[in-house]
């Protein structure tokens, strides 16, 4: 019986010329060999079931069998050929969501990235002189203009910037830092650990909550290379506290003929504090305080691509540029394109800064967010009794290791699908197409509308209606 059933399985070469095979090759733009591998895999599964007396399927010689087989092949091809990295609708209430890629690029930045990705680009070619140029010059002149620094260099992220600075200037030497600033920057990466990897010796001063100027001065030895300050981008110490200001740190370091360096982390070029949002220091103000070097991220409050930007005194930046790590940690043309476009927006003033999605989304007032929530509700009103929804005010967060404890008034839409728990609804929404990531709070599923774009609202509606249909199947 088994052998008779096995013999009725169609031959691979017959399946290769079937109309369904031709259609799949055209649909996925694949070679015949790729399709054949998938067909053989499906046939092997059928044979295994037959040999184990577990085959309850239709007759292998029938048309229904062939169509079912190609349906499985289609599903597997879609699964394997669909990119794992794909767009996500961020309805979490966190603007700079680290797990969702932090900053969203501006339209101009995207256009610039596409242009240089599609074509050759003058990444290391001086078009005026017709000779080799420097990739750093493409964006570093803009960094200087928007921060007031003498010079700058760009590496692939801020952790790399910290590593490079300590490696170049403090290897086998001491770095003085307050105990209250020995932070963990995410993913178990700690300032103290990075410092050890660079060969620098950590010299802790002060206490968790109190560090005085005299603590730094008394710690200076002949082997001291640097006084370092780490801005508390992702935490706050409140109450009975004291930390040394940037200007005083710079003066103390200068008086002792050593380097002053501040790791700003977030790197704000827009004055959010002016609008009552946090107290993040502007990069330009820290530079103006006299600190020799600062470093900050490109994809946090700056609103650009992932990058680590080092700005400061020219003589020190020159040393960084000449070091071998400059090549190891350098960024590619697409990062440079996105960063250049983002920095140019800041040159245009506040209006230009507001074209950057991160800045714009943080600055949205609650009325603007509410309009998006109302739009979503209007599209959901279709008489489907299986779908319930509500609207309320809530709080968004900045996230991304920036502006800790800072919240912004927002509006959220709560959704309930009959027959589904909030956790199940959350999973179906985030695993669908498009992937919509909301949040579950108090056993309810919520969509924060602050970061949702206008064109994404109909996509959310379609995703919800698809989930409703799935809920019926699940029942």
Per-residue pLDDT of 60-76, as tens digits, reads: 889 999 999 999 999 99
Mean pLDDT, the chain, whole residue set:
91
**What residue spans of 308-404 are helical by DSSP H?**
314-322, 325-328, 333-347, 350-353, 357-363, 366-380
Mean pLDDT of 134-143: 92
What confidence score (pLDDT) does residue 34 get? 95
Per-residue pLDDT of 243-265, as tens digits, reads: 778 999 999 999 999 999 999 98
Percent of the chain with pLDDT over 90: 71
Say yes or no to pLDDT of 233 above 60: no
Q: Under a CB-based contact definition with an 8 Å cutoff, are residues 358 and 408 in contact?
A: no
Say how far apart CA 176 and CA 229 lie, in whole Å.
9
Say how far apart CA 467 and CA 304 lie, in whole Å.
34
DSSP 299-317: SSTT-SSS-EEEEE-HHHH
Per-residue pLDDT of 32-48, as tens digits, reads: 999 999 999 999 999 99
What confidence score (pLDDT) does residue 187 get? 57
Mean pLDDT of 456-472: 89
**Helix, strand, coil percentages in the chain from 3-state DSSP, rounded to 5:** 45, 20, 35
Q: Under a CB-based contact definition with an 8 Å cutoff, are residues 346 and 354 in contact?
A: no
Hey, which bits of 174-307 come out as E strands?
Answer: 174-178, 201-205, 224-230, 259-265, 293-297
SS3 category, 410: strand
Say yes or no to pLDDT of 403 above 90: no
Percent of the chain with pLDDT over 70: 94
Q: Which two tokens stand for residue 31?
A: 């070679």
What confidence score (pLDDT) does residue 397 get? 93
Reported as a pLDDT band with limits 50, 70 and 90, residue 474 is low
Per-residue pLDDT of 312-358, as tens digits, reads: 999 999 999 999 999 999 999 999 999 999 999 999 999 999 999 99
Mean pLDDT of 381-397: 84
**Tokens 């799935």, residue located:** 470
pTM (global) more than 0.85: yes
What confidence score (pLDDT) does residue 188 get? 59
Report residue 226: phi and psi, to 5°: -160, 145
The mean-pLDDT minimum among 111-115, 176-180, 354-358 falls in 176-180
What confidence score (pLDDT) does residue 343 get? 97
CA atoms within 13 A on the CB side of 277: 22
């Amino acid at each position: 019986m088994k052998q008779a059933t096995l013999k009725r399985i169609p031959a691979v070469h017959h399946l290769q010329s079937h109309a369904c095979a031709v259609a799949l090759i055209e649909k996925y733009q694949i070679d015949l060999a790729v399709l054949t591998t998938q067909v053989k895999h499906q046939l092997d599964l059928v044979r295994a079931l037959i040999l184990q007396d577990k085959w309850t399927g239709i007759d292998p010689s029938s048309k229904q069998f062939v169509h079912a087989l190609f349906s499985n092949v289609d599903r597997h091809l879609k699964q394997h050929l669909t990119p794992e990295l794909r767009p996500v609708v961020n309805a979490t209430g966190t603007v700079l969501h680290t797990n969702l890629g932090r900053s969203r690029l501006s339209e101009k930045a995207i256009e610039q990235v596409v242009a240089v990705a599609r074509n050759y680009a003058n990444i290391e070619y001086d078009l005026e002189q017709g000779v080799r140029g420097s990739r750093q010059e493409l964006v570093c002149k803009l960094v200087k203009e928007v921060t007031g620094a003498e010079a700058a260099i760009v590496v692939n992220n801020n952790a790399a910037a910290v590593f490079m600075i300590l490696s170049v200037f403090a290897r086998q030497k001491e770095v003085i830092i307050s105990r209250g600033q020995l932070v963990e920057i995410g993913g178990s990466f700690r300032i103290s650990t990075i410092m050890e990897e660079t060969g620098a010796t950590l010299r802790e001063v002060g206490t968790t909550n109190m560090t005085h100027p005299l603590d730094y001065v008394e710690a200076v030895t002949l082997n001291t290379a640097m006084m370092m300050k780490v801005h508390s981008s992702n935490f706050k110490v409140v109450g009975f506290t004291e930390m040394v200001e940037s200007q005083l740190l710079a003066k103390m370091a200068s008086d002792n003929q050593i380097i002053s360096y501040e790791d700003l982390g977030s790197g704000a070029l827009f004055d959010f504090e002016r609008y009552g949002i946090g107290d993040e220091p502007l990069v330009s103000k820290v530079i103006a305080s006299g600190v020799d070097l600062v470093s900050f991220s490109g994809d946090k409050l700056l609103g650009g691509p992932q990058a680590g930007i080092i700005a400061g005194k020219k003589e020190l930046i020159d040393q960084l540029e000449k070091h071998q790590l400059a090549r190891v940690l350098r960024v590619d043309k697409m990062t440079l394109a996105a960063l250049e476009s983002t920095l140019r927006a800041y040159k245009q003033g506040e209006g230009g800064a507001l074209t950057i999605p991160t800045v714009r989304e943080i600055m949205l007032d609650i009325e603007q967010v509410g309009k998006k929530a109302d739009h979503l509700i209007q599209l959901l009103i279709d008489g489907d009794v299986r779908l319930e929804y509500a609207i309320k005010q809530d709080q968004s967060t900045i996230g991304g290791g920036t502006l800790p404890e800072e919240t912004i008034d927002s509006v959220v839409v709560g959704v309930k699908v009959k027959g589904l728990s909030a956790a199940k609804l959350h999973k179906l929404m985030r695993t669908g197409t498009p992937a919509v990531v909301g949040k579950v709070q108090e056993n309810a599923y919520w969509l924060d509308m602050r970061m949702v774009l206008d064109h994404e609202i109909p996509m959310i509606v379609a995703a919800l209606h698809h989930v409703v249909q799935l809920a019926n199947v699940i029942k």
